[in-house]
Structure 1
Amino acid sequence: MSHPATDRSVERHFASFREFYPYYLSEHENRTCRRLHFAGTSLVIGVILAAIVRGNPMWLLLAPLAGYGFAWVGHFFFEKNKPATFKHPLYSFIGDWVMYWDVLRGKIPF
């Protein structure tokens, strides 16, 4: 029997991010997908830093492309699922940053 937080056949409604995060991780079981997320999030950080250092906010236009571009390649070609951001945009955005931090701390295999 599947766990309700990870069952992909049931559309879920989450009362909190704490409830959502196990589902989010279940959508990122493929190592290449996680690595692409990590690369995209790292690029987002780089783009934000470039915007600050150069004093040019136009750099920020690249942030969504870097973040979502890498993530969506990971989902469509490696994880073979639809990104959670389509149904849970805010929690997914937060989830990406929490997963990034968890990878940095060694809590999630890279």
Structure 2
Amino acid sequence: MPSDTHTLVHLCTPGEWATAQQLGAHRPPSLVSEGFVHLSTPGQVHLPANRLFAGRDDMVLLRLDPARLGAPVRWEPGVPGDDPDMRFPHLYGPLPVAAVLAVDKYRPGPDGRYTALPG
């Protein structure tokens, strides 16, 4: 497990965030298809961002308070090709709007790739 377990983040589109604010929680498709919401630490968020959103410049980064998530968070392996010792936080329930401390723009660099964030 990473040493920084106090800062968790989630990426979504502005439209998904607007819907979550109306409903009180974010329920991405992965909650149905995989049973959890993909989260990251600031130092690893660039990995899923580059896999899923490379070149997009409209993503928002939700900064989360883990104490307010209201469902279990399990630290589990990522996808094949990730460092086998790296674990990603997975939220086994909807992401409550009340757990979001800040919403920031998350933009790729000029080459279309995202970089890690400071903790």
TM-score normalised by length of structure 2: 0.23
Q: Which has the higher helix share?
A: 1
Bigger relative contact order (CA 8 A; separation at least 6) = 2
Q: Which has the higher strand share?
A: 2
